[in-house]
Each structure stands twice: as structure tokens, then as C-alpha cells.
Amino acid sequence: MINWFYYCDTNAAPGDLELILQKRSYELLQFPHLDDLIHRIKDTDHSILFIKANTLQNGYDLCQEMSILFPYLYIILIVPDNMENTRKAMNVGASDILRFSSDLEEKKGAVERAVKYLKLREEGVSYHLAKNCRVLSVCSPKGGIGRTAAVVNLAAAFARMGKKVGVLDANLQFGDVVIQLDQKPGGTIYEWVKEEYERHSYSIDNYLAVHESGVSVMPAPSRPEFFEMISEIHIEKVIEEMRMRFDILLIDTPSYLSEIHLKCLERSDECLLLVTDEIPVLKRSRLFIEALEAFQLHEKIKVIRTRTARKQIDQHKMERVLDIPIFASLPEQGQLVSQSIDLGTPVVISQPRTPIGKGFLNLARTLAEKPVEAAEAKLQEPSKKSKRMRSLVPMKGRV
């Protein structure tokens, strides 16, 4: 069932829209008061809202407010002809846009696109539940720590395990996942936004770069300035589309936090936080964890220690600084990972028997374990049970 709502700041009648919907056996509910509309939307799913506001309220501002309150609400923004701005409408969360002077066919087209979208979304949700895709973000506030190398090697490791793997390069200004896989993308997320999203067609298949290992990548924009075109709404939609296609989805993130990257972490099942034993890195990582605590995302964090050639700090001291246990450790990378980046081949493919190659493979196997299976495995180790359980239960973060 689809719920159709109409709001106009001057309480003007919906006109043709109501007739179009009646012919399709739909009911259009008109709300003269915004508070009543918001209250109604809270109690409904599968809703489509027409917003026609210009006299008493700014339609774009209202659209943005409603899209924030209700992220899955399909909004069709109706604006004066001289205010039509597709990019602006997209950035404030509108799903479609009509002009005051739009003719009957244009209005019918908007209705058809809305119905098609909700049907595809419903089918997509069912498909996602059937596939049970795991979404893993790799993050760190330290630049150059090896986030992208970890993403491509884990992706290749999961692919070796027979998983269908996707990678989203969310480092929108300087992402280089395709470079580390020696791929030449036919398109990027920037082209997808321009060519598909703006036309209300959300297929991503023509924009994925497929590596010989079977890993599929949604590349970052080819130029740094193109990132301004992409919003957290687009990122959320790309994640939704990729979850419907893969068993494992890995997201490469930059060293800073923004609304886009918070959206990536929010939509992830686990956030793999890379750390080294350097005190400045640990300090930054603790601040990063505290930032995620403020957004109630800290329970998703799994700390991955990457060893260095220098003298090692005791793991217990690292855990005290971070106030969270270390989930796993990776061996020292040395020159092997740098060489694999230059060759465009992940080390788990080129040298899987090396310590770092085995480290990524073992980490992928651990992450691939289902929670129930992992719990059963712990129960079957009575001699190590108490020690192992203590190491895996996160300490409470400071408030």
C-alpha cells in the first residue's frame, strides 16, 4: 500500500494530481497544517509527499527538513518555473521535481516514477534480507596508515573464500582503490549521480569496475572537485544498491569525518579501526572513538592493530589508551604491501603465504564468522574461554 500526501503552504488544491491518483485507485490526502502532516507520516510506511511551497515557506528548505526527519520518504517538490533547480532539489533530499506549469503527462510521469521506485525498494529490501550482506567500513584518523591496502586485501581474501564482494571507495576526493587494483574504471560514483540518480534510475552495474579476482568496485570521482556533487543521500542509495548485489561490502573511508562518512559508518555492520602502536596515532584514534560514541556508533568498532618495525608498545597499554580491546593484529607489512600497490595486485593474491598475506586471510575468515558460529566456537574452548571472552568484550567508553 502506498500513502500519498500533499502539502501546500497556501492550502491550494492539488488539481490534476488528485485526478491522476484517483484513476489509479489511490487516495491523496491533503494537509493544511504541517504539524498534522508530520504526525501522520510518523505512523505510515511507503509514503510519497508532494510539497508545493513558495509563498509562506521556502519549498527547498521545507524539503530538506522533511528529508532529514524521514530519510525514506519519497518527496516530489513542486516549484515555480523560475526556481526550478534539479541539483538543488537533489541536494535537499527531493526524489523528483515538478514545475508549477508541468503538464498532465509530466505529472503522470512523476507518479509512475514514484510507484516504480517504491516497488523496487520493497523488492530490494526482501532481496537484501535474503542475501544478508555484511557491510564493513575501514577507517582511521591517521593518513597513510593503510586503509585502502586493507580494503583491497580483505576484498580479495573474501573473494578467495567464495564470497561475492563489492567495494565502495568513499574517499571521494582522493580515493585510489581502482589504482591499487590496477583497474581503469568506465565510470565512477560521480557519473552514476549525473546519469542515473538524477533520472531516477538507480542501477549501478554499468559503473562497477570488476577485478580479475571477482571483486567489484564503485570508484571515487576521477577529479577531487567532483566530490561536491555527491551527498550523503547518494551514498546511502549506493550502499543500498550494493547491499542487494553482494555478500560482503567493504567501504574505504578518508581520515576525516563528514556527514557522508558518518553515513557510511552508520550503514555499516562493523567499523574496522586501524591503529599502530605510535602514541600520536593512539591519541587520535581515541578521539575518533569518542566522536563515534557521540553518534552512538562506538559499539560497531573493531580495532585492528597493524604492527610496525619499531619497538612495540604492550598491547594492554594500547587498550588502556583506547579504552577498547584490540580485536585482531596484522603482521608488519614491510615492503611487500608497497610493492603490491605498485604492481596493482593485492598481496593476498601475489604472495598469500607471507605473514602479511596470511594475516589478511585470517582476518577475513574471522570477520566472515557469523555471530552464532563465533559464540559456539568460544564455548568449545573451555581452557581459553574466560581469557578469550574478556578480550572480546568491549570496555565501557567514557561519557
Give the start-end residues of each E strand in 90-191: 96-99, 134-139, 165-169
List pLDDT tens digits, range 238-296.
Answer: 898 888 889 999 999 998 888 889 989 999 999 999 998 888 899 999 999 998 888 88
Contact 155, 148 (CB under 8 A): no
Q: Residues 25-41: what's their mean pLDDT? A: 90
Confidence of residue 399 (pLDDT cuts 50, 70, 90): very low
Confidence of residue 123 (pLDDT cuts 50, 70, 90): low
Q: Which residue spans of the chain are classified as CATH 3.40.50.300?
A: 132-392
- Answer yes or no: is pLDDT of 186 > 80: no
Query: In whole angstroms, what is the distance from residue 67 CA to residue 88 CA?
Result: 13
The pLDDT, as a whole number, for residue 397 is 35
- What integer best gives the mean pLDDT of the chain? 82
Q: Residues 319-331: what's their mean pLDDT? A: 89
Confidence of residue 378 (pLDDT cuts 50, 70, 90): very low
DSSP H or E stretch at residue 279: helix 279-294
Query: In whole angstroms, what is the distance from residue 309 CA to residue 276 CA?
Result: 11
- Answer yes or no: is pLDDT of 386 > 50: no
Instruction: Give the HSE-up count for residue 246: Cα atoms under 13 Å, Cβ half-sphere.
Output: 31
- Answer yes or no: is pLDDT of 104 > 90: yes
Q: Which residue spans of the chain are classified as CATH 3.40.50.2300?
A: 3-126
Look at residues 190, 244, 245 and name the one whose alpha carbon lies nearest to residue 215: 245
- Cβ-in-10-Å burial (0-12, 13-18, 19+) of 249 comes to buried
Confidence of residue 202 (pLDDT cuts 50, 70, 90): low
User: What's the CATH class of domain 3-126?
Assistant: alpha beta
Please tell us whether the domain made up of 132-392 is placed in CATH 3.40.50.2300: no
Q: Residues 53-66: what's their mean pLDDT? A: 86
The pLDDT, as a whole number, for residue 252 is 93
Query: In whole angstroms, what is the distance from residue 378 CA to residue 394 CA?
Result: 16
Q: Residues 115-135: what's their mean pLDDT? A: 66
- Answer yes or no: is pLDDT of 103 > 90: yes
Confidence of residue 200 (pLDDT cuts 50, 70, 90): low
